[in-house]
Amino acid sequence: MADGEARFGGYREEPSCGDTGPVTEAEKRAFLWTGGDYLGFFLREGEPAVLRFSIAFPGAFLGDKFPEDLCGGTVVLQVADGPPIRGLLEYVPPDNSAEHRPYPYRVYLETQPAQMLLFSRAFDTVWGTVELPDGVTFFTGASDYRWE
């Protein structure tokens, strides 16, 4: 798999590697620090809105062949009072020319294939964009516990 090439190219029910090849060392390191609950903020129709999301790697670190058999994590997005939206996370090789992107990730949304969530993580902070067909909305946030 070439750098920058999408491993999945879209949402999958099971984020297993399948025919996409084994998890790279960079992906293993990236997945180690990703799981958790995050809180972000963005503008929706000009008004501030809250985005909560949780990332989990089923079977991770429990002796179930992780990460060799899992190339992505499951994500649940909660936007304001709307219904939860499931997604699939994959690691994206960093763009070394971009500012503040040491650990970039892409989330494919299950019900909205034209939209995806891109974010980076460093320590307990995330930042990124929600890509929409009609433009881009920026958000920033941190691990949920830091807002308590």
CATH number at residue 108: 2.40.128
Task: Give the pLDDT band (50/70/90) at residue 80.
Answer: confident
Q: Is the pLDDT of residue 121 over 70?
A: yes
Burial class (CB in 10 A: 0-12, 13-18, 19+), 21: exposed
Identify whether 128 is part of a domain.
Answer: yes
Give me the pLDDT at residue 56, please: 85
Identify whether 17 is part of a domain.
Answer: no
Average pLDDT, the chain: 75
What is the C-alpha radius of gyration for the chain, rounded to an integer number of angstroms? 15
Task: Count up the domains in the chain and report the number.
Answer: 1
Give me the pLDDT at residue 146, please: 61
Identify whether 62 is part of a domain.
Answer: yes
Q: Per the confidence metrics, is the pTM higher than 0.85?
A: no
Q: Which two tokens stand for residue 88?
A: 């699939």
Q: Is the pLDDT of residue 55 over 80?
A: yes
Identify whether 42 is part of a domain.
Answer: yes
Nearest C-alpha neighbor of 129 from the set 117, 121, 120, 141: 117
Give me the pLDDT at residue 134, please: 58
Identify whether 16 is part of a domain.
Answer: no
Higher pLDDT, 18 or 132: 18
Identify whether 7 is part of a domain.
Answer: yes
Identify whether 23 is part of a domain.
Answer: no
Q: Which two tokens stand for residue 65?
A: 């062949």
Sign of the Cα torsion 13, 129, 7, 28 reads: negative
Domain range holding 39? 2-11+33-146
Identify whether 141 is part of a domain.
Answer: yes
Distance of alpha carbon 132 from alpha carbon 148, whole angstroms: 30
Percent of the chain having pLDDT more than 90? 0
